[in-house]
Amino acid sequence: MQIKFSILLFLFCHSFSFSQSYFPPAHEIWKTKSPKEFGLKTKTLNKAIDFALSNEYSGERDLRIAILKGFAREPYHQILGPTKKRGGPAGIILKNGYQIASWGAIQRVDMTFSVTKSYLSTLAGLAVDRGFIKTNDAAANSIWDTTFDGVHNKQITWEHLLTQSSDWSGSLWGGYDWADRPPKEGGIDNWKNRNYHTPGTHFEYNDVRVNVLAYSLLQVWRKPLPQVLKENIMDPIGATNTWRWYGYKNSWVELDGTRMQSVSGGGHSGGGIFINTEDHARFGLLFLNEGNWNGTQLLSKSWIKNAISSSNAQINYGYMWWLNKKGTSRFWEGVPENVYYAAGFGGNFIVIIPDENIVIVTRWLEPSQIGEFVKNVLKALP
């Protein structure tokens, strides 16, 4: 009898805890609560925010300059998509969905660079949930143009593209796979004539290959990816209409007689998602709640689980989400291993802390300081 009562009490508390997660309605002011209401130490949390404000990204606020400086080593690199001068440090901290802290201009729309990748992988998740593709399917089965021609590229699956372990070879929108973030050793001839890695065995962060994923998903959805994101994710979670997702001036294609743009998965050649801090927080809250928004399952729990699981080629990388795993150079000491995050150039982050029901969004933080910042936030917990 005592055992049955304990089980019922656990289920009741678990259900009650989940029901207390607040989901901000669209077009309404986000409800706030003081950190004290959740037992957090306000002074300690304020110190963490002061840390973020005093550790602003050291790059130029004119992002065209920051981009050209940051990627100057890449052969033939050029800006092909829109850019925007950035604002100052900004951020939001959510607890159970409520805003418990914010700083800076949180409604300002800014570039978000590779945080875009986590939005892009979500569209792959929607395609999997709908049965359009399977992660272990060869991408060439769905994309029958020349994108995956050749013995090597034909081996590439959707999972390889999602985990940045495809080693896809070719060029897209004027960008060459070998020229994107080239090795520190050697020169152009070495990079062009490299040896291929078997897909799935070698992790390499590469925006050209991410753009191949975006182009491939466009072929699957057969309508602009920003429209797919808006209809299936951003509108249901109550995001504003201020966010935009751009590709390049030369990334236009014709599908079914309609001209549409293939968007980029980042901003290091311009483009990508331009968005405000509050909309990022809504997206993070969706993932914190395992794809469920106020009772509606927008993205399957199984997809979320797979997206934040270590890939074979890289322990701290899932489906375009970074994972906080020990034994890697990206591990944040003093932060739980089940924390995961989206990260972009210039110090743009969406951080999910499942055990504490916390989402942190921070913009324009010096990237090397993100681990320390998150640790400082966690110090405010009771």
Domain membership of residue 357 (yes or no) is yes
Q: How many alpha carbons fall within 13 Å on the CB side of residue 75? A: 14
Q: What are phi and psi of 251, to 5 degrees?
A: -105, 35
Domain membership of residue 326 (yes or no) is yes
Longest dimension (CA), the chain: 75
Domain membership of residue 308 (yes or no) is yes
pLDDT digits (tens, 9 = 90+) for 53-95: 999 999 999 999 999 999 999 999 999 999 999 999 999 999 9
Structure tokens given for 46: 């304020």
Beta bridge partners of 258: 255
pLDDT digits (tens, 9 = 90+) for 147-181: 999 999 999 999 999 999 999 999 999 999 999 99
- Cα 233-239-241 angle, rounded to 5 deg: 110
Domain membership of residue 124 (yes or no) is no
Domain membership of residue 226 (yes or no) is no
Angle subtended by helix axes 42-54 and 370-378, to nearest 10: 170
- Among 105, 27, 114, 38, CA closest to 70: 114
Domain membership of residue 300 (yes or no) is yes
Q: Give 3-state DSSP helix, strand, coil % of the chain, rounded to 5.
A: 35, 20, 45
How remote is the C-alpha of 381 from its chain's centroid? 26
pTM of the shown model: 0.94
- What is the predicted pLDDT for the residue at 3? 44
Domain membership of residue 232 (yes or no) is no
- What is the predicted pLDDT for the residue at 20? 55
The domain that holds 41 is classified in CATH as: 3.40.710
Three-class secondary structure of residue 343 per DSSP? strand
Low-confidence ranges of the chain (pLDDT < 50): 1-19
Domain membership of residue 96 (yes or no) is yes
Question: What's the structural domain count of the chain?
Answer: 1
Tell me, what DSSP letter sits at residue 231? Answer: I
What gap in Å lies between CA 73 and CA 184, rounded to an integer?
9
Angle subtended by helix axes 116-129 and 207-221, to nearest 10: 40
The amino acid that residue 215 corresponds to is Y
Tell me, what DSSP letter sits at residue 297? Answer: E
Structure tokens given for 369: 């300081």
Q: What range defines the domain where residue 322 resides?
A: 20-118+270-378
- Among 349, 350, 358, CA closest to 378: 358
- What is the predicted pLDDT for the residue at 19? 42
Q: How many CB atoms lie within 10 A of CB 296?
A: 10
